[in-house]
Chain A
Amino acid sequence: MHFWFKQRSVLPGFWPSFSYSVLYLTVIVLIPLSAVFLRAATNSWERFWKAISSPQVVASFRVSYETSLAAGLISLAVGFLVAWVLVRYPFPGKPLVDALVDLPFALPTAVAGIALTSLYTDNGWIGRYFAALGIKVAFTPLGIVVALTFIGLPFVVRSVQPVLADADRELEEAAASLGANRWQIFSRVIFPMVRPALLTGFALAFARALGEYGSVIFISGNMPMRTQITPLLIVAKLEQYDYPGATAIATIMLLSSFALLLLINAIQWRTRRFLQPDA
């Protein structure tokens, strides 16, 4: 076995910790996920295809992926900014703001959904200004993006923040002294350092958004073909005791999300190798 496990650590305990990790991942992650696949496998191909290709389901995939992607990108941009501000600038009340970032993690998502909905409906505090501009937020795909952005923000902030904090300020000073302008310092020095963290944050926010249910069902309006997210359709199928149909949709979501996450990890792995060729 030893020829393909590289043991480099000076500390003993590789086998117990490795075995425990595998066991834990199996019990907590792999077995429940395989249950989904096994259940989906009770479908015939024909039924499986019918379950995932009905117009409502296809429309919901579109809604889910598009809004999650949009929310992931917004979280990426805004999360980077927030992390930057938190790391680089001292200001009064900073610990408070820092703690605030984590709140979306702790808040029950249904509470977030209800609060956001009442803010963003046409007569809500924020929604009324959008309504005056002719923009409807709640009960449209835009509302879903709002909820998912709220959920996703902390993932990006918390991934990027420690990397930014560890980044060597001297590198920037060196770049400046060598004649780099501000944009070059950002794009050639700072950005490559935080890029893996940004990708991680984006992947987490995006994946979380895909699976989000509690907050979205309040703000989306759940209109078939327009604002119905895939997790809601899964619940609707369960409500009809259609377990095979529900797991069929879940399987597609799992596989496509897994493929996307794998892709993001691959990009990251490449970037890391590029940055540290000898690692």
Chain B
Amino acid sequence: MKRRLFAGAALAALLAYPAAAAKIKLLNVSYDPTRELYQHINAAFSKYWKAKTGNDMEISQSHGGSGAQARSVIDGLQADVVTLGLAYDIDVIAEKANLLPKAWQGRLPNNSTPYTSTIVFLVRKGNPKHIKDWDDLVRPGIGVITPNPKTSGGARWSYLAAWGYALKKNNNDEAKAKDFVKRVYKNVPVLDSGARGSTTTFVQRGIGDVLLSWENEAFLALNELGRDKFEIITPSISILAEPPVSVVDSVAAKHGTTDVAKAYLEFLYSDQGQEIGAQNYYRAQNKKIAAKYADHFPKLTLFTIDDVFGGWQKAQKKHFDDGGVFDQIYTPGA
């Protein structure tokens, strides 16, 4: 609520100062861990656009939990582009508010995902509990830190990664996968509501032995908090996390920013945009850039949500909706 009030105030402030008329304004509504990434992208794109068209740009960014951000856009936050944590959240904007076509994800290459990421483990320095792969998470006495998938987009990727691993290991036996995931969550002492909360729990409070984290967040944590305290463990297999992007057609049309919004997203796919992504620890789609930064990113087998779960809509319904598998894990007797 506070965020929305603030966003409203920010908008009111924007409306009140139409002074610099030649300036093109763009609002990018994004999720939590992309703050640093889009600061760099916005600076680079403004320069690029100025050189190309002579127009000045003013790009604002808004961050928050992916689902909460999608809700703000549905409720009227004037986003020209959305860059969210998972496709389901953009689907909902299309479905509930009709602000963009339902087939938005086919409009840009790679499922409209300029960069990918994955779920890795952050452990304490020296890996005292010898956590190497998913199987180690269910050992008795291991504390696993991950947010509640019902309130956190990143946590949904973690949950699905664990599920996908268990499926592969048990020849697609669903019952065994459910049992495995149940045992993982049995080792979770605290379910924070968001990814940042979990990072705090693990890093500041010293609770738990392993944090399930976005790969880019894990790198950020490492850089900010010290490589002498934590290390990243890459499991043998994980999920290909695809945080997608899209123009919000109706809003951009109303603002007259359709062209620049499109160019902004295409810029993410350009060599320069891909390089900035890689420097911010996202895995680039562009092969050349990916090869250049290959030694930053450990190799592992990645499966997609489409392959294993048949897409976000199905995964959401089966696992995270009320009464879904995640609820059953915590309901006694179910």
Contact = CB atoms under 8 A, between A and B. Distances in A.
Contacts of A224: 191, 327, 330-331
A236 B189 contact: no
A222 B323 contact: no
Contacts of B220: none
Given A236-B151, A241-B92, A225 B331 contact: yes
Interface residues of A, number: 28
Most buried by A among B67, B151, B327, B332: B151
B150 A139 contact: no
B322 A222 contact: no
Contacts of A240: 67, 150, 316, 320-322
B148 interface: yes
Contact of B151 (A117, A121, A139, A235): A235
Interface in A220-279: 221-225, 232, 235-242, 245
B254 interface: no
B327 A222 contact: no
B200 interface: yes
A184 interface: no
A237 B200 CA distance: 24
Contacts of B321: 240
A235 B316 CA distance: 17
B191 A223 contact: yes
A71 interface: no
B330 to A, nearest CB: 4
Contacts of B331: 55-56, 224-225
A225 B207 contact: no
B148 A118 contact: no
Interface of B: 65, 67-68, 71, 92, 96, 148, 150-151, 189-193, 197, 200, 204-207, 316, 320-323, 327, 330-332
Q: Which 8 A-B pairs have the closest CB atoms?
A: A224-B330, A221-B190, A239-B67, A236-B150, A222-B191, A239-B151, A121-B205, A236-B151
